[in-house]
């Protein structure tokens, strides 16, 4: 009954498609136009990827910090390491650059040598006043040298802010308006104003400017992502079309396939716009993924069509068989691939959820496009000529199939031995895998902004902000001397870590206040003692708003304070040890009953998000394996067949994980997708092979060896074709400038290559070696779903007659129109 239903269903699908060709093409055109209209809703992300769910404790702490102090990543810095900067003309140009930036509404404040303010004690009242560091125009080089000496030797407050601890470089801090940091205005400002001004300064003075800071890094990194989308799509189309043409030697087949997948790409962008999802580093991969995944669908359909034409030459019958015989198998393979991506929907990460939704929807969409467009277009064209079918007789393909048969027949022990050796080596490699939560590791190493990051890491000991939020549990508790001393102790602890630069907080302002009180003697840059507390803190409090230097480090109530520590790019395992030591020191310095202290900030949250993704990797991969095992159970109704089918698909994943360990490729947000993607795709070959194997078993009266070899011959060619397309298709990602995307492409390609060999060699070997336990009528019972129908003659003949009548009527209609 199930068999008849499957045959009847797919025969009805074939009948519907071939009888309503024009209507279906019109519907596809209308949907494509609608999807194109949705492109206007696409937008590129202007924030870092938040890998943690909104209700995660670390995200809650970060949200509390943002509520108190606003966006933290609004600092952009311009650095110079050049002795000629303190020449009169060069210094004037450097000061003008800062002033021009400060004149823009997008900038809240600039902090440069030319506009530095120094604290001075007022004589008329107990308060400080701000006075310009450079009071008059510089008229001589001697005057310039004196300012340089005073900056480096008498203003320790500005160490790490304006000049480096080594005193070999200086920088200008540009604080952007927090309202534009996560908006398109930031991008326009940096590309249209900041970069041209910097280039003009460099051209005028010959001094190289190093530019960095989170707004600048994020802007240029996002632009790289945008630029690479077009490159990926073009490269994927070029590579897959060349390979496709090499296999089929047919411009017609190649153009039809490219036309189909291009529509799929248009739909992919349309779905992103329709759902109002941002284009991130992950969703940017979907359009080229659709090309790479869609071409194998085209290969299976066109290869089957040409085989049928070669067999009997009847076009109508061939098209009908393409849909009825390949439609079900292709549906199952696309569903399993989509399931691999859909498992990300069940995670709590918004980034992964959106990627999983869009990817799985587009995989099902490209299946429908291939199933309808290819047969319809071929139905309007004359049958393929002999030259289009010559590829079916290629000698090298026959040699490859023969080699597979010989290996499976004569060298099964060698196949098992190699598999076991690879498994053992992979387990060793897996233990060497490290986790990376670096914000900058995937950035293009040859990009100018990446080299600038390294400059600031070297000169200023860090650039990635880590925030410490201190709740004193009482209003104005921050400015008590006891709290300030505790904060100072913690800053000294942080400064001892080589991964951190000198922290910034209100403590620096209070120390500067004492220095100013003692006539700016740098020896007094320290916290006041008990005797000095009352009058120096009264000076500091009275001037807290006026200084505008570090007032953002205490909230308006005076209850909350922040300590900002700029961190170097640090490996995750080392970061974990630093965090553990830091939390122990915080617990000693700040008693829990009096203070609440939280470690937060973009760099910290990203590190934690990466570890969270690793846990989700295990969950999503386990779900993918479970779902696909359910598919296999539903299709074959055999637990033993499920186990046998999973082995050749899990082994390649373990081999890839082992390679990552041996080659030093870390687990990170980009490479974390490899396993679910590769498993969802590689299991397609297993389904095709087992479906054909079962069909041959029934047709050949359960003769196992004959059925295995027949299944290997028929599916081997298509599996080879699709695996080669997938291998080179995913290899396109290796041309990326992002290290994570390169690793993703290389690892998925390698995994799919291992999976092809496992499905063509290990799977048949397992079936032959375990034939008594697996391949019998009791174990391999009638499937719930008929993937490749066993017999369809009556239905096919009926449909053939219908199609013949339809074609005859159309020809008569065309003839009458012509007359």
pLDDT tier, 490 (very low <50, low <70, confident <90, very high otherwise): very high
Percent residues over pLDDT 90 in the chain = 13
Mutual orientation of helices 350-379 and 327-342 as an angle, nearest 10°? 160
Give dist(CA 211, CA 215) in Å, integer.
Answer: 11
Give every CB contact of residue 514 below 8 A, 6+ residues apart in sequence: 524, 525, 526, 527, 528, 532, 536
Read off the pLDDT of residues 13-65 as tens digits, 9 standing for 90 and up: 888 888 888 999 999 999 999 999 988 887 776 666 667 777 888 888 888 88
C-beta of residue 774 within 8 angstroms of C-beta of residue 767:
yes
Predicted local distance difference test score (pLDDT) of residue 60? 87
Residue 427 maps to a domain: yes
Across 461-484, average pLDDT: 86
Predicted local distance difference test score (pLDDT) of residue 26? 93
Residue 179 maps to a domain: no
Read off the pLDDT of residues 230-277 as tens digits, 9 standing for 90 and up: 788 888 888 888 887 877 777 888 888 889 999 999 999 999 889 888
Read off the pLDDT of residues 165-191 as tens digits, 9 standing for 90 and up: 888 889 898 888 888 887 788 888 998
More confident residue, 798 or 15: 15
More confident residue, 361 or 790: 361
Closest CA to 89 of 168, 210, 171, 201: 201
Predicted local distance difference test score (pLDDT) of residue 21? 87
Predicted local distance difference test score (pLDDT) of residue 807? 47
Read off the pLDDT of residues 111-165 as tens digits, 9 standing for 90 and up: 888 888 887 777 766 667 778 888 777 878 888 888 888 888 888 888 888 888 8
Say yes or no to pLDDT of 812 above 70. no
Say yes or no to pLDDT of 220 above 90. no
70-84, 556-570, 766-780, 805-819: which range is least confident on average?
805-819
Q: What is the dihedral of CA 807, 809, 812, 813, to 10 degrees?
A: -110
- Host domain of residue 684: 2-47+220-431+606-805
Residue 480 maps to a domain: no
Residue 245 maps to a domain: yes
C-beta of residue 72 within 8 angstroms of C-beta of residue 66:
yes
126-140, 390-404, 447-461, 483-497: which range is least confident on average?
390-404
Cα-to-chain-centroid distance, residue 738: 10
Predicted local distance difference test score (pLDDT) of residue 362? 92
Across 388-415, average pLDDT: 74
Give dist(CA 619, CA 621) in Å, integer.
Answer: 6
Residue 517 maps to a domain: no
Predicted local distance difference test score (pLDDT) of residue 819? 47
Across 690-703, average pLDDT: 75
Closest CA to 166 of 454, 452, 458: 458
Say yes or no to pLDDT of 2 above 70. no
pLDDT tier, 790 (very low <50, low <70, confident <90, very high otherwise): very low
Say yes or no to pLDDT of 780 above 60. no
Read off the pLDDT of residues 434-444 as tens digits, 9 standing for 90 and up: 777 666 766 77
Predicted local distance difference test score (pLDDT) of residue 791? 43
Give dist(CA 812, CA 297) in Å, integer.
Answer: 34
Across 78-106, average pLDDT: 89
DSSP 393: G
Predicted local distance difference test score (pLDDT) of residue 788? 47
pLDDT tier, 420 (very low <50, low <70, confident <90, very high otherwise): very high
Predicted local distance difference test score (pLDDT) of residue 271? 92
Across 715-723, average pLDDT: 78
Residue 646 maps to a domain: yes
Across 367-373, average pLDDT: 91
Closest CA to 383 of 298, 322, 305, 325: 305
Predicted local distance difference test score (pLDDT) of residue 438? 67
Domain count, the chain: 1
Predicted local distance difference test score (pLDDT) of residue 390? 60
More confident residue, 325 or 817: 325
Residue 780 maps to a domain: yes
> Which CATH number fits the domain that encloses residue 236?
1.20.1640.10
Predicted local distance difference test score (pLDDT) of residue 785? 47
The CA-atom distances, in angstroms, between 799 and each of 581, 783, 802, 805 are: 75, 25, 5, 10
Residue 136 maps to a domain: no
């Amino acid at each position: 009954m199930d068999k008849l239903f499957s045959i009847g269903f797919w025969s009805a699908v074939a009948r519907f498609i071939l009888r309503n060709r024009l209507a279906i093409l019109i519907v596809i055109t209308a949907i494509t136009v609608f999807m194109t209209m949705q492109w206007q809703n696409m937008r590129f992300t202007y924030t870092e990827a938040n890998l943690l769910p909104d209700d995660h404790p670390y995200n809650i702490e970060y949200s509390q910090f943002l509520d108190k102090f606003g966006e933290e990543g609004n600092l952009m810095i311009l650095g110079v390491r050049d002795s000629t900067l303190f020449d009169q003309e060069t210094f004037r140009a450097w000061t003008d650059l800062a002033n021009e930036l400060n004149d823009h509404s997008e900038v809240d404040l600039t902090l440069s040598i030319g506009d530095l303010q120094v604290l001075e004690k007022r004589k008329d009242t107990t308060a400080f006043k701000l006075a310009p560091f450079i009071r008059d125009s510089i008229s001589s080089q001697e005057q310039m040298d004196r300012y340089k000496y005073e900056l480096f030797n008498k203003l320790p407050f500005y160490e790490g802010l304006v000049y480096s601890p080594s005193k070999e470089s200086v920088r200008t801090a540009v604080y952007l308006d927090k309202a534009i940091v996560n908006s398109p205005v930031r991008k326009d400002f940096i590309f249209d104003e900041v970069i041209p001004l910097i280039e003009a300064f460099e051209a005028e003075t010959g001094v190289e400017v190093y530019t960095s800071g989170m707004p600048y890094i994020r802007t240029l990194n996002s632009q790289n992502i945008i630029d690479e989308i077009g490159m990926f799509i073009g490269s994927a189309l070029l590579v897959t079309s060349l390979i496709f043409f090499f296999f089929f030697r047919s411009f017609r087949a190649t153009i039809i396939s490219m036309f189909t997948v291009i529509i799929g790409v248009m739909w992919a962008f349309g779905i992103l716009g329709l759902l109002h999802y941002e284009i991130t580093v992950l969703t940017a991969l979907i359009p080229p993924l659709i090309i790479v995944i869609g071409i194998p669908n085209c290969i299976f359909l066109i290869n089957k069509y040409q085989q049928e034409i070669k067999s009997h030459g009847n076009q109508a019958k061939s098209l009908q068989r393409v849909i009825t015989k390949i439609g079900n198998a292709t549906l199952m393979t696309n569903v399993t691939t989509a399931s691999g991506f859909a498992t990300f929907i069940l995670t709590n990460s918004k980034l992964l959820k959106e990627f999983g939704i869009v990817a799985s929807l587009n995989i099902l969409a490209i299946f429908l496009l291939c199933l309808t467009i290819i047969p319809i277009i071929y139905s309007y064209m004359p049958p393929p000529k002999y030259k289009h079918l010559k590829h079916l007789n290629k000698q090298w393909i026959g040699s490859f199939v023969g080699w597979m048969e010989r290996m499976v027949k004569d060298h099964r022990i060698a196949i098992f031995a190699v598999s076991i050796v690879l498994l053992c080596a992979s387990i060793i490699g897996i233990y060497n895998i490290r986790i990376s939560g670096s914000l900058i590791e995937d950035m293009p190493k040859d990009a100018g902004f990446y080299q600038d990051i390294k400059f600031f890491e070297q000169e200023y000991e860090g650039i990635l902000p880590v925030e410490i939020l201190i709740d004193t549990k009482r209003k104005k508790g921050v400015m008590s001397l006891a709290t300030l001393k505790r904060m100072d102790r913690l800053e000294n602890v942080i400064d001892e870590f080589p991964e951190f630069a000198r922290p910034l907080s209100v403590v620096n302002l209070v120390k500067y206040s004492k220095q100013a009180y003692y006539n700016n003697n740098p020896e007094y840059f320290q916290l006041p003692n008990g005797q000095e507390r009352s009058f120096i803190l009264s000076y500091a409090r009275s001037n807290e708003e006026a200084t505008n230097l570090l007032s953002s480090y205490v909230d308006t109530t005076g209850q909350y304070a922040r300590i900002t520590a700029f961190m170097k790019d640090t490996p995750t395992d080392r970061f974990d040890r630093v965090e553990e030591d830091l939390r122990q020191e915080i617990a000693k310095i700040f008693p829990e009953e009096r203070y609440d202290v939280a470690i937060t900030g973009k760099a910290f949250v990203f590190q934690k998000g990466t570890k969270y993704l690793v846990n989700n990797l295990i969950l999503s991969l386990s779900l993918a394996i479970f779902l696909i095992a359910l598919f296999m159970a539903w299709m074959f109704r055999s637990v033993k067949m499920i186990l046998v089918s999973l082995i050749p698909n899990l082994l390649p994943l373990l081999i890839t994980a082992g390679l990552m360990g041996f080659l030093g490729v870390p687990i990170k947000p980009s490479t974390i997708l490899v396993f679910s993607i590769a498993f969802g795709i590689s299991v397609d070959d297993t389904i095709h092979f087992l479906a054909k194997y079962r069909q041959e078993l029934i047709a050949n009266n359960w003769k196992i060896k004959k059925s295995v070899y027949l299944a290997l011959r028929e599916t081997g060619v298509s599996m080879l074709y699709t695996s080669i397309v997938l291998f080179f298709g995913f290899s396109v990602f290796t041309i990326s400038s992002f290290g994570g995307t390169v690793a993703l492409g290389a690892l998925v390609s390698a995994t799919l290559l291992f999976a092809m060999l496992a499905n063509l060699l290990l799977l048949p070997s397992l079936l032959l070696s375990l034939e008594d336990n697996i391949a019998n009528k009791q174990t391999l019972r009638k499937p719930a779903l008929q993937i490749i129908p066993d017999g369809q003659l009556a239905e096919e003949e009926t449909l053939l007659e219908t199609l013949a009548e339809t074609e005859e009527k159309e020809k008569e209609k065309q003839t009458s129109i012509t007359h």
